[in-house]
Structure 1
Amino acid sequence: MNTAQPSHRGMRIPKSLALIAVGGLAALILFVADFVDSGKLTRETDAQAVITKQLRFEDRSDGSIAVISATDGRVVKVIEGEAGFVRGILRAMARERRIKEVNQAIPFELIARADGRLTLLDPATGNRIDLESFGKDNVIEFAVLLKPQGVQ
């Protein structure tokens, strides 16, 4: 009689399933944010913005995402590889734009606040995501976009 426990080592989750899960989580967050903005819940007043960058995100044919400064058109960063958190957030926000039939070219605003929080705001839909809600490692993925160009 074999009493060995089954091993789950080496079990892998397909990339597409992981991206769908992240996108679903981001969509849920947008739903909750819409619920909050509708006045059903109250939220703390935002701390003063210390840095605000207007950014556009463009998908490239090689699967990467170009992050472009809306003020001068320069590429701030090219996001390659999985970058599941960034991709999930951007997909959820782009989906909301498609649903509301707003212009995809309107830049997003990435806002660093005096209290250390980081907010991604979509002026086209009014949606916002307070990125610190997802943990320090995920905030860093967006925080690097606030660095002066040429500094990585």
Structure 2
Amino acid sequence: MSQTLAENPLLRRPALICGGMVAATLAFVLATPLLQRGHDGATPVVLVQRDLFFADRADGGVAITDSRSGAEVAELLPGEGGFVRGTLRSLVRERRREQIGAATPFRLTAWQSGRITLEDQATGRQLDLHGFGQTNAEAFVRFLTNKE
């Protein structure tokens, strides 16, 4: 004779946990568009935005160039910029998996809210760099201004 969930407490707890996880996931998915808006419900305001190419150099460095002007914005010398390199590696890996080349630049954006995002315009993936900590987000901020 089989028991229902209400009759068996050993089956009831896992069912409640699974149901709660499903409800939490749905709430998160539905709330995400609202969380991306400003606190007043307005569309976020872009302070600075730049489309960039990141190219490996033969010496192990990385050249960062502005996609519009072709001017070099910055360079990472061999062995420096670990967070920047790791972030880009993950995005490039996704491009390779989807068989997308390097012709489309990445979009780096500073928002009025203080967020810094890096978007792969080829795949549509967007990273909120503050999610990795303030210091890591600041590693990208210098690419928003001209090389000095």
Q: Quote the residue 1:85 is aligned against.
A: 83
Say whether residues 1:94 and 2:92 are aligned partners.
Answer: yes
Point out the more displaced range, 53-62 or 75-84. Answer: 75-84
Report the secondary structure of 1:58's partner residue.
Answer: strand
Q: Quote the residue 2:105 is aligned against.
A: 107
Aligned residues: 113
Deviation at 1:103, TM superposition (A): 2.4
* Aligned AA (2:69): D
Report the secondary structure of 1:105's partner residue.
Answer: coil
Q: Quote the residue 2:53 is aligned against.
A: 56
Structure 1's consecutive aligned runs of 4 or more residues displaced over 3 angstroms after TM superposition are 39-42
- TM-score normalised per structure 1: 0.69
**Cα distance in structure 1, aligned partners of 2:127 and 2:51:** 15
**Cα distance in structure 1, aligned partners of 2:45 and 2:96:** 30
| 1:87-119 deviation per Cα after TM superposition (whole angstroms, max 9, x unaligned) | 000000000000111121210000100111100
1:144 aligned to 123, 127, 142, which one?
142
Deviation at 1:41, TM superposition (A): 5.9
**Cα distance in structure 2, aligned partners of 1:138 and 1:110:** 14
**Cα distance in structure 2, aligned partners of 1:89 and 1:41:** 27
Stretches of structure 2 that go unaligned for 5 or more consecutive residues are 1-24, 38-43
Computing the radius of gyration from Cα coordinates, the structure with the larger value is 2
Q: Quote the residue 1:133 is aligned against.
A: 131
Sequence identity (%): 38
Judge conservation of contact 2:72–2:147 (CA < 8 Å) in 1. Answer: no
**Cα distance in structure 1, aligned partners of 2:46 and 2:129:** 14
CA RMSD of aligned residues (A): 1.7
1:76 aligned to 49, 73, 77, which one?
73
Higher relative contact order (CA 8 A, sep 6+): 1
Point out the more displaced range, 96-105 or 124-133. Answer: 96-105
